[in-house]
Amino acid sequence: MTRSNAVMIVTGGARGIGAATALAAAREGYAVCVNYLSNVAAAEAVVKQIVQAGGRAIAVQGDVAKEADVIRMFDAAARELGYVTVLVNNAGILERQTRLDDMEAARFERVFATNITGSFLCAREAVKRMSTRHGGKGGAIVNVSSMASRLGSPGEYVDYAASKGAIDSMTIGLAREVAGEGIRVNAVRPGVIYTEIHASGGEPGRVDRVKAAVPMKRGGQPEEVARAILWLASDEASYSTGTFIDVSGGR
């Protein structure tokens, strides 16, 4: 399937890594469904850039942690853009930096609902539509994990790190589960990247604080992560499934 008739859903596509991925995908010929939770202006700005450059894109509001919203998003993408060939499971949240013994149960529920349940629901709907077992024509799922899954984020957000560990396990298991059904499942693990997510943790300048610990001595840019995502989604990665690309400056 050529990219000129390929359709990509990017969850959390309005900002950061998601927006960079949506824009880069459109430049490569994908039609893009930009999912967002609440920032309609940011999502529409991404869509506008794509359309003005001659591409096709739609913005679809939806909470990935809600089953009905996920189904509606996939249905809208298929109806307005065509057969969905790629899912980028990017939507994720973190909360303010703190130790585990200061975290409340409600926080766990919020973080795990978006980061784990949301990714599972989106992957499930992608498989239902892409799998040859269900009459689909195949496709690719790229999960956005995090180096936090390996480093643990002690003293900051162990809950977020654990949620990304779940994504790593899902990537491996689902890849093996659907490998014979025309679907490849891979993941990228970004390191410290200049995005707005750090403000959610209470430290907008976190990348600059910790970059000295990165072997390359700098933070990454969202576009650098997007390039890895697009490679895993492409036919160039046709024999790669259940694998990970660490975009982390060597950390």
Mean pLDDT of all residues in 104-120: 98
Distance CA 29, CA 7 (A): 9
Helix (H) or strand (E) holding 209: helix 206-210
pLDDT digits (tens, 9 = 90+) for 133-144: 999 999 999 999
**String of DSSP letters for 137-150:** --EEEEEE--THHH
Is-catalytic flag, 239? no
Quote the domain boundaries for residue 124.
3-247
Split at pLDDT 50, 70, 90, the class of 5 is confident
CATH of the domain at 184: 3.40.50.720
pLDDT digits (tens, 9 = 90+) for 238-251: 999 999 999 999 98
**67 — phi, psi (to 5°)?**
-55, -45
Distance CA 77, CA 18 (A): 16
**75 — phi, psi (to 5°)?**
-65, -40
The total number of structural domains that make up the chain:
1
pTM exceeds cut of 0.85 = yes
Q: Is 148 in contact with 164 (CB distance < 8 Å)?
A: yes
Q: Is 88 in contact with 34 (CB distance < 8 Å)?
A: no
Q: Which one is catalytic: 157, 160, 194, 239?
A: 160
More confident of the two residues 1 and 107: 107
Mean pLDDT of all residues in 126-136: 98
pLDDT digits (tens, 9 = 90+) for 161-176: 999 999 999 999 999 9
